[in-house]
Chains A and B, each alone.
Chain A
Amino acid sequence: MEKKYAEQLLRGSEEKGLKDSIKNKIEREFGEKPKDFMVAVVTSAENYFPTDIAILNYLVNTREMKGVYVAMNKPYPTLVKILQNSNIDTDKLFFIDAISGNLGQDEEISNCVFLSNPAAISELGMTVLNLCDEKKADFLLLDSLSTLVIYNDRLDSVKFTHYLITQLRKYGLAGVIMSLDKYKDPEAIKDISMFVDNVIHLK
């Protein structure tokens, strides 16, 4: 079921010749970056998932980087299946699931922590800080700023993402801040753009 879903999403892009162009653009944009790059990636809803996959494929499979995936759009079990079906090595990822809530905490999973809810940004901040301290990753991917803004007000979302970016820089980790181009408060990504080194637009 999940494979079909992932395939559908990828095929949807492929039919329009978008999958390869996204993959090429990601490889071009990320290929020239030092290991502690800090980027915001802004895409349309249609391209969001293929872009997410293309980034992870490049970072995890090509550059062999270990990552922390902050999941605010899909629960851990769904996400892992989709990524595995897209040939992403999920053993190289640690997940912070912000949307399963207490439901997810029934299971003991070695590479995932479950937050109580997507509005628990202090909890998220502490979890990220602990992971940075434990040197478990080379990069962090926030999926996504546009979702963070749904559950928190803009000021809190921007302050939190700024905090995240400064911590990643302090620990020498790379960061990818994903966002939809159209969402509740598009000024948030303009503020976040001020803190990163590059903004990649994939429309």
Chain B
Amino acid sequence: MKRSLMFLGLLIVVSVNAQQAPIIKFKDLNSLIQTKTDTTYVINFWATWCDPCVRELPSFLQLEKELANKKVKFLFVSLDFVRDYDSQFLPFLTKHSMNNYVYLLDEPDYNSWIDKVNPHWLGSIPTTVIISHHPDSTFFNEGELSYESLSKIVNSLIH
């Protein structure tokens, strides 16, 4: 009985976490990118094993906090392997208090979708895409961003 309760407890923990950081396919991300709303999306492609990604994360999290009442959403799209989800990915999120809008993109055929995110993307991470509708504008940057550059560009694109 005790063991099954523990198991149930574990299941609940896992499902809550999974809800916070769902595994998504490219079509899920794409529909989000394509949906025209007045919200500006800052999409950061990263991975727990990527040092420059981890280095720039605090800037993104700080700006996300500062702009919490603005029409801007920060999406953290991880390219970690699905097999590392429990062992590496979730513990990282807990350690860095990343609670919102974190996803793991399970789409190993990279060539099939990189150009759809942005044709300028050569394939390294971190890469950040900022999408704003009304008017349509896209900002793309392959490489690490400082808090200053990120803040400038995001502030210029939010309504």
Are A and B associated in one complex? no
